[in-house]
Structure formats: structure tokens, C-alpha cells
Amino acid sequence: MNESRRFVGRPGAADVKLPPGQHLTRDFPVLSAGPTPHVPIEQWELTIDDGTRVLRQWSWKAFRELPAESFTADLHCVTRWSKLGTTWEGVSVDTLLAGLTIDASFARARSYGGYTTNLPLRDVTNGQAWIAFRFDGADLAPEHGGPARLLVPHLYSWKSAKWVRGLALLDHDEPGFWERNGYHNYGDPWREQRYSDD
């Protein structure tokens, strides 16, 4: 990605640089295709699989014992709002995959509630994606994906699956919920890849 963009502007600044067709918002809209799932924390699990076999699995307790990072991210929703400089805490997907021998090029996230989204594996590795559980200094609210959501800030936010329950590492690309319903397969906001024919 173009690193220079990250440091240009602040919310409200006249020179703020946004992806094409986006406008700034200061509040945090809730965008959910269905109801907010409520999973008791004792039943919550995060699973890495290869489409067939479970490769790794964490309970909430085990997940929270993994090393976590604080990070700042700009969010860009395909419905044209952007929110800059949001602060999060989460476990890097690199940490989840560390030590695994991976023969896959794609990842498919799935959520409690049934939502899915697909990404190239190279877009969720190398410090570009987290399973986030805190936002703005507080536990992540259920409507924003709590207890934990995927966050992949360099792509449109529909790729950041709320209530994430697993990542499948696949040798083939499998379109997710919005990707099957007219959204772009990749979703780069800087190239304005909103819909399948963009």
C-alpha cells in the first residue's frame, strides 16, 4: 500500500486525503446485514482450518493469552463513510498462523451469524490484519463485532468480519456473502473497487 497516505491529514483538516468517493464521519455507524449474534464467552471459539481439518483452535481464555498489539486504522465503508485514526487492540493474524505450514493462497473468514468474506491470504498476513477485541480503549461492543472481529483496514470494511469465528485457509478463492451479492471480490478503496464490475 501507499504508505504516504497514512500520514496525510486528520479528521476535519482541509487537506485530508480520503479514498475516491468517500466522506469523513466522526461517529461510528453500525453496518450489519443481520441481527447481532450473542455468543456466551464460555462457548466462543476461534478456529483456523484448511477447509477440511481444524489446524488450530482457541477458547476465549486461550485467545486472550496470545500476544496482542495496539494499532490505529482508517476504516472505509463501501457506503462511502470513512473514519480515520481509530484505535484498536487485537491479535495479529500473523500470530495466529505462526509456525503453521500453509499451502494456501486464500482465506475465508466466517462469523457467528453466518456472515462470510474472502481475502487473498497475502492480505491478512504481514501485519495487515487483526482479530480485534478492544476499540477506543474499551471492550469491543457487540454491535461492532464484539467480542472479537477481523479487521483488515486496507480493504473496504465489509472484509472486516464482525463476530469472527474462524478463518479457512484455502487453495481456491470462495466468494463470501457480499462478494456473491454484487460487491467487488477484492475491494481496494483507493482503486474504488466497490462493485463486481468496478
When CB distances to Mo ion are compared, the closest residue is 77
Provide the strand spans (E) within 52-115.
Answer: 54-59, 69-76, 81-92, 106-111
Inter-CA distances, 109 with 117, 127, 130, Å: 5, 17, 12
Query: CA-CA distance, 3 to 84, in Å (whole number)?
Result: 15
Please pick, from the candidates 89, 157, 169, 184, the single residue that binds ligand MTE as defined by CB under 6 A.
Answer: 157
- Piece of 30-38, 54-62, 68-76, 85-93 that binds Mo ion (CB under 5 A): 30-38
31 near Mo ion, rule: CB under 5 A: yes
Please pick, from the candidates 1, 8, 16, 30, the single residue that binds ligand MTE as defined by CB under 6 A.
Answer: 30
Q: Half-sphere exposure of residue 164, counting CA atoms within 13 Å on the CB side?
A: 32
Which partner, Mo ion, ligand MTE, none, binds residue 120 by CB below 5 to 8 Å per kind? Answer: none
Nearest 5 degrees, angle CA 171-CA 173-CA 177? 140
Which partner, ligand MTE, Mo ion, none, binds residue 66 by CB below 5 to 8 Å per kind? Answer: none
Binding site for ligand MTE (CB under 6 A): 28-33, 77, 111, 113, 115, 144-145, 157-158, 160-163
